[in-house]
Chains A and B, each alone.
Chain A
């Protein structure tokens, strides 16, 4: 990791008429509390993949662009002072396209790190009522399936498929997924893109505030048979990482295998 990130999520206290601002990578977020309503403004105008700026609960307003920002009001009988920001993963799978497709020779294995933009869930009060879920980066849509009739709508993101932890850039709005790929087949495995089933993954935070998902182990067996396992708990590289948010969806063992069968495409 090149820099040490800071924890931007958690519970924040708002006085009446107080407004606070966050900058999370390309996402600008402004929240204001009134006696009977919450205001939430967000802007991902720059939508810049490499933007890694971070400002937490600042009282100075960044510049929101009128055309690209969104402003919502939420009405309550009486607002409570607590506001919770929770890191969440996207509501659809993400297809990560390798900038440079790579081969994995026979009987080799590798751990690659693929990241995905975090979504911010905003909850208020002791009852933790959800106001909104905002992606830090609006990824392009893509179709992932054998043809235009079967498949699923996913998000698409380019990935460098980094293999070294030291090369991973600090980006507070990204969640890193370690994927271990083992090639047990009799042919080299060409990997061009990976499908990450984000709704089924949980988020963990390490001591530095970096966000992680569980490890995913992919075994490429002969005759194009893949077996996939999702690790339990924090990834082995950061065993002390604490659970920050559960997965959106839970799968039974059988469904999980079916889902991950198409994780690799060659």
Chain B
């Protein structure tokens, strides 16, 4: 009965630890998932989406690491020596992966600084979108046309970030040109009436009216109204439609760019003729 003994020995020495280690890892993943999810669920009222995501990941990886250490020990490795080797390995990997380390450190700084949170809308360079996740290496942004942009933390920490969700109200600056013949006081009054009638345009802070200058074809104006963040784009659309309608009703002309051509004689306007085609 040599073979069964050998088989039993082989099973006990080699197969059993591997099965135990695999079992431990599986249990570890399950426990980590269960604990991290239920912990975040129980604390969801007290945490921001960003904090809950971070807490979930830390708890998950901590539990998995503990079970992994037990699994390694089960396989017969000395955990102390293993960690020592892992330390040396970490230094080697660290040197070889400077970019990743830079991203990780940038990520840690950014989490501490909190220039934005998950769910905020930001603009970085030409990219604008909603923050989906803030990870150790990168930040993931969903753009309005539903594409995902991954921006490395190192890039973010060096860039100017415009956070469009920081404050609850925002200003819309509308550039408007009116004909030179128009009475600007009347134009101002019409604009203020339009803003007052639009319920999404805030009464306070008051709208503002600014004459930017005398343009090539029109007097250039800036009319600024304030709106709440959730209704920002709705206000931007409705108020421009209403301004155009009000100008048409009041007979206020919004001229488009036009040029008058003169002949080289200097005084005569170049003759033009309209044809039906």
Contact = CB atoms under 8 A, between A and B. Distances in A.
B204 A144 contact: yes
A143 B204 contact: yes
Nearest to A144: B204
Interface string A128-147: 00000000001111111000
Q: Which among B199, B201, B203, B226 has the highest number of chain A CB atoms within 10 Å?
A: B203
A195 to B, nearest CB: 11
Contacts, number: 43
B231 to A, nearest CB: 8
| Chain A interface, DSSP helix/strand/loop, else mixed | strand
Contacts of A144: 204
Contacts of A153: 168-169, 228
Interface residues of A, number: 15
Given A139-B199, A140-B199, A156 B168 contact: no
A140 B239 CA distance: 13
B204 A138 contact: no
B167 A143 contact: no
B205 interface: yes
Interface residues on B, range: 10 to 19
B199 A138 contact: yes
Given A143-B169, A143-B226, A149-B167, A95 B204 contact: yes
A141 B203 contact: yes
B196 A140 contact: yes
B204 A142 contact: yes
A148 interface: yes
Contacts of B199: 47, 138-141
B202 interface: yes
A39 interface: no
A211 to B, nearest CB: 22
A97 interface: yes
The 6 closest A-B pairs by CB, nearest first: A142-B203, A156-B203, A140-B199, A142-B204, A138-B199, A143-B204
